[in-house]
Each structure stands twice: as C-alpha cells, then as structure tokens.
Amino acid sequence: MSIDKDKIKHVAKLARISLDEKKTDSLTKDLSSIFKFIEQLNELDTKKIEPLSSILNEPLRSREDEINDGKIKDQVLENSPKKNEEFFIVPKVVE
C-alpha cells in the first residue's frame, strides 16, 4: 500500500491538522516506508508460532487473593486532617 500526498492531505484535513508542503513530503515518505515494512511482516508464515505472554519461557504463576489491610491503619490515619476512629472524614461533595 502506498501513501501519496493526496491521502496525507485528506487525513490531515479530517484531523484538522495544518501541514505545509515540506511536512507533507516527509510524512508521505515515512508512512510509505512503514506500510512497506508492515506488508513484509504480513508475508511471514506465523501459523506454527504460538503467541507469547512473556519473553521468558516460563508459565505465569498464579497466587491466591488475600484480603489484607496492611496492619498500618493507625499510620495511614495519622495523615488525615480529620478522622473518626477508623475512617477519614471528608467534606460532602454531592448534595
């Protein structure tokens, strides 16, 4: 797929971007080379290649979810300008 100046100008108009002639030439060249590279990638046979979730060759480890308050409630509440025993007191936002 080749990108010409008319397509660049059309997309710039849709995006409401002003481009001068020099920038249009530069974008035409850059986007054309990007699309040529994508076409090369599309020619590769990837049917026998499994998708990766990580570059490491190890399965992902699962862990059990544990509810934990961190045992630092008092330290956290020390940062509050207003508190009521176990909770922060905040100004009412919704009427």
Confidence of residue 81 (pLDDT cuts 50, 70, 90): confident
> For residue 29, what is the domain's CATH number?
1.10.20
Q: Give the pLDDT mean for 46-60.
A: 81
- Whether the pLDDT of residue 2 is over 80: the answer is no
What is the count of structural domains for the chain?
A: 1
30 pLDDT more than 90: yes
Interatomic CA distance for residues 88 and 78, integer angstroms: 10
Residue 94 inside a domain? The answer is no
User: Which pLDDT does position 55 carry in this prediction?
Assistant: 81
Q: Which domain holds residue 18?
A: 5-42
> Is 71 a member of any domain?
no
Question: Is residue 17 a contact partner of residue 37, using CB atoms and an 8 Å limit?
Answer: no
Tallying the residues shown for the chain, one arrives at 95
Question: Quick check: helix, strand or coil at residue 10?
Answer: helix
Q: Is the pTM of this model over 0.75?
A: no
pLDDT of 15 > 90? The answer is yes
Check residue 85 and report its DSSP letter. Answer: T
34 is a domain residue = yes
